[in-house]
Structure 1
Amino acid sequence: MEQVISFTKGSQLQALTASEYFGYSIQPFIQDILNQFVECDNLKMSIIQAAKNHPQIAETFFDIDSNNVVESFSLKEPFLFPEQNPVLSLSFNNKRLSPFLSTHATQTIQNQLVLPEIHHLLYLCGQAKFNYEQICQQVSDEMVILLDKLLKSWIVREQPQPNKGVPLETPGVFRLQHAALLYRTKTTGILVDPQLHSNYGLTNLKQDITRAMLEGFVDAILISHSHYDHWNLPTLMLFAPEIPIIVPKVPRGSMTCEDMKARLEGLGFQKVIAVDWYAEPIAIGDMEIHVLPFYGEQPLVPEYNQPKHPDLRNWGNTYLLRTPYYSSWFLIDAGDDPMGSMRDVAEYVKQKFGGVDQVLSNFLSLSYNSIGTDLSGWGADILGNLLSNPQIFSVTNKKEGFHLATLGAKGIAEICAIVDAKVCLPYAHSWAELGQYTKSDEQLIEDAIAELAKVGCSTQVIPWKIGDGYIADSSPGLNNRILY
């Protein structure tokens, strides 16, 4: 059997941008403010004490007026809205191998112009079509050195060509890891928020969904928003430069949400599409893609809806896909915020389309209370939210009356009732082995069924596992397991 270069089981890829690195560097200061606030329930004193504990960070990066501490507190604007946000490095690791083996490799990026070359190398490796010599003939000498580094670290290997995981002519939607979905008709495939060979989630999966399994089945990619569990640059670099990628339109890049279109073009992608909400639909094969608002997961809360920096927003899209076989609206982590409500968007969908066949959503009830007091796993997006509006610390610490950042089971039931959804499918909760539920799936499904009953909605909740496909021409509720 022919040997080709492809990614090994357990290989993980991660990019580090300047804003992310900066977020990590100031995180101890923000964490200290929250720790202090939990103790004393006084935001002013918490900021003052944390500034004393971290004087260099506070003085260099923050505006703090001693006469008006809470109202003045903010990251200085050049750091909130950096003019440039270069990719600093790409790191590669394989945690399935022996801890005694050195499997970690880092490629420092000193010149952003090399990123399209790295993109081309990763794309060639991801296809699992070429052997070592064939790849070397298609890349520069510098990329051959990187390829050798990846081989030495067991990130890629020469191995038999893997089997594909999805029958080509299978109309339906397939649940990949976390927030990733693959929509198919008999001729067309749309990939959503892909996380392949990712460092996020479980680190020792026995089996996982690889880039090679999707080769030939993806005609376009949709990105919902720039949170790190939906926006993975190395994963995107595994796909062809000419593949269409639809991303949210970002009026002003920030540490919370970078300009995704500009970023992808800097990586060498040639067909990056960013359009306004409610724009004319985009046709990819026999799929019609409608770009709709993404409300929720924002720093704005009803009590404090006048932030210092309104542009510091988690810009995003939800998408409604219409195909000859089914229609599907996936909501990701959406909810409500002072800019708008997903229930109003649902009313638009009902009026415009008469309803939808499928609603897909994260079922978790996420609020700033639920993040707890440990910010270490939340990265720059949470820091940006907190920095946009320091009063949110008060909301974070409340035990009652907090504002949901996502729909939760109750909100999902209301959306399904409005759009007359035939089925509702949960996703975007976490990683799991192929053929298994994620950690919280079963309880969340029970909650959603209960809420649908309360509103008298006949929408059927479809339990499905990682790797399952909900097939358009199957009997209601039947999941054909395709990927394992």
Structure 2
Amino acid sequence: MEKVISFTKRAQLQALTASEYLGYTVQPLIQEILDQIVKSDNLDMVIADAAKKYPTIAETFFDIDPSNVAASFSLKEPLLFPEQNPVVSLSFNNTKLAQFFPVGVREIIKEQSVLPDIHYLLYLCGQAKFNYDQICQQVSDDMIILLDKLIKSHVVQTQPQPARGVPVETSGVFRLQHAALLYRTKTTGILVDPQLHSNYGLANLKQDITRAMLEGFVDAILISHSHYDHWNLPTLMQFAPEIPIIVPKVPRGSITCEDMKARLEGLGFDHVIAVDWYAEPIVIGDIEINVLPFYGEQPLVPEYNQPKHPDLRNWGNTYLIRTPDYTSWFLIDAGNDPMGSMRDVAEYVRQKFGIVDQVLSNFLSLSYNSIGTDLSSWGADIVGNLLSNPQIFSVTNKTDGFHLATLGAKGVAEICSIVGAKACLPYAHSWAELGKYTGSDESLIKDVIAELEKVGCSTQVIPWKIGDGYFSSNSDAPCGGILY
């Protein structure tokens, strides 16, 4: 069997932007506020005390008016809405060898013009089609140096050409890690929110989905929103520069939500599509893609729904997929917010498209009260959201002002009832080994079944594991393992 360069199973890559680096820089001050607000209702005093404890951070990065502390508290506007948000580094590691490479290797990005070259190198490695010499013939000397670093770090290696993971003529949807899905018809594949060889939730997995397993089965990529667990730049860079990528349309890039179209074009992608909600469908092969609103995951509690910076929004899309065999609507982490309700979108879907075969959704009930006060796992987007409305500090981790940011079990059941869904499938809860449920799947499925019974809805909730495929309704085996 021919030996080629491909990513190792425990390879991890992460790209860090200037805004994300800023999020880490200001984290101590924000963390101090969160630590103290659970002990005091005086937001002005808590912010002022945190600024005194971290004066350099406060003076360098924040606007704080001593006469009206809470109302004025914000990152400086050029930091909230940066004109440039460069990628500053690419980090890579192999978790199996963490004892030798405990913090991985960091490639500093000095010039943004090098990003398309890095993209093309990762694309060549990801295909698992070329040997070392063949890759070297297609890239610059600087990229050969980077390739050698990737090999030395055991991120890529020479290995037998791997078998592909998905039967090309299978029609259905496959559950990949966390929020990633692969939609297939007999001729076409659409990949959703991919996380391949990323460093989010994947460190201890012995068996995972590799980029090479999907080679030849992906004709376009859909991105729902820019939260770190849905938007992974090194993953996307493992796909061809010419692949169509559909992203949310962002009116104004910010620390909360960057201009995804501009970002991908800066990485060398030349077919990035950003359209308005309810626009005419986009057709890829025999799959029709309808772009619909994404409401929810906005930390705007009902008492304080006039944010200091209303442009700091988590812009996103849900997508309704129509194929010759099935119709599927995936909701990601959607819910309701002051801008709109997913229930209203569901009414539109039922009127426009009729009964939906499948609804896929995160079943978790997430509120900004229940996130907790540990910022260590939060991204710059969450920090930016909090800064959009400082008053949310005063209700975070408290029972008053509770605001559900996702649909939760009750909301999922309501959506299924409105669109007459034949099946409902959970996803976007967490990562797990191939062939396993995520830790919360079984309890959440029970919750949704109970809520469906309350509203008298006959939607069938389908348990499926990481790597499972759910096939079109005319199949004798509607669900089963494919990728393991």
Q: TM-score when scaled to structure 1?
A: 0.98
Residue 423 of structure 2 is matched in structure 1 by 423
Q: Which moved more, 1:173-182 or 1:101-110?
A: 101-110
Cα separation, 2, equivalents of 1:477 and 1:49? 61
Matched, 1:100 2:108: no
The gaps in structure 2 that reach 5 residues or longer are: none
Cα separation, 2, equivalents of 1:146 and 1:390? 43
How far 1:474 moved relative to its partner?
5.0
> CA contact under 8 A between 2:175 and 2:466: conserved in structure 1?
yes
Q: Which moved more, 1:377-386 or 1:128-137?
A: 377-386
> CA contact under 8 A between 1:171 and 1:473: conserved in structure 2?
no
Cα separation, 1, equivalents of 2:462 and 2:183? 16
- Partner-residue secondary structure (3-state), 1:376: helix
**After the TM superposition, which residues 467-482 of structure 1 pair with which residues of structure 2 at under 5 Å, given as runs?**
467-473=467-473, 478-482=478-482
Residue 449 of structure 1 is matched in structure 2 by 449
Cα separation, 2, equivalents of 1:189 and 1:391? 44
- Partner-residue secondary structure (3-state), 1:428: coil
Residue 459 of structure 1 is matched in structure 2 by 459
**After the TM superposition, which residues 233-272 of structure 1 pair with which residues of structure 2 at under 5 Å, given as runs?**
233-272=233-272
Q: Which moved more, 1:390-399 or 1:12-21?
A: 390-399
Cα separation, 1, equivalents of 2:352 and 2:126? 40
Q: Which moved more, 1:249-258 or 1:371-380?
A: 371-380
Residue 316 of structure 1 is matched in structure 2 by 316
How far 1:230 moved relative to its partner?
0.2
Cα separation, 1, equivalents of 2:44 and 2:102? 47
Cα separation, 1, equivalents of 2:475 and 2:422? 12
Matched, 1:173 2:173: yes
Letter in 1 for 2:346: A
How far 1:431 moved relative to its partner?
0.4
Cα separation, 1, equivalents of 2:64 and 2:397? 22
Q: Which moved more, 1:196-205 or 1:462-471?
A: 196-205
Residue 162 of structure 1 is matched in structure 2 by 162
How far 1:445 moved relative to its partner?
0.4
> CA contact under 8 A between 1:9 and 1:96: conserved in structure 2?
no
Residue 409 of structure 1 is matched in structure 2 by 409
How far 1:355 moved relative to its partner?
2.3
Matched, 1:17 2:4: no
Matched, 1:390 2:390: yes
Residue 117 of structure 2 is matched in structure 1 by 117
Residue 131 of structure 1 is matched in structure 2 by 131
- Partner-residue secondary structure (3-state), 2:304: coil
> CA contact under 8 A between 1:103 and 1:153: conserved in structure 2?
no
Cα separation, 1, equivalents of 2:75 and 2:330? 34
The CA RMSD measured in Å over matched residues stands at: 1.2
Residue 199 of structure 2 is matched in structure 1 by 199
How far 1:104 moved relative to its partner?
2.2
How far 1:208 moved relative to its partner?
0.5
Matched, 1:77 2:70: no
Letter in 2 for 1:370: S
Which 4+ stretches in 1 moved above 3 angstroms? Answer: 100-103, 473-478
- Partner-residue secondary structure (3-state), 1:174: strand
Q: TM-score when scaled to structure 2?
A: 0.98
How far 1:126 moved relative to its partner?
0.2
Letter in 1 for 2:6: S
Relative distance call for 1:191 and 1:118 in structure 2 (3 A) is: same
> CA contact under 8 A between 2:38 and 2:398: conserved in structure 1?
no
Q: Provide the identity percentage.
A: 81
The Cα offsets for residues 430-467 of structure 1, whole Å up to 9 and x where unpaired, read as 00000000011000000000000001100000000000
Residue 378 of structure 1 is matched in structure 2 by 378
Letter in 1 for 2:87: V
How far 1:477 moved relative to its partner?
7.7
Cα separation, 2, equivalents of 1:269 and 1:301? 37
The gaps in structure 1 that reach 5 residues or longer are: none
Cα separation, 1, equivalents of 2:388 and 2:476? 45
- Partner-residue secondary structure (3-state), 2:447: helix
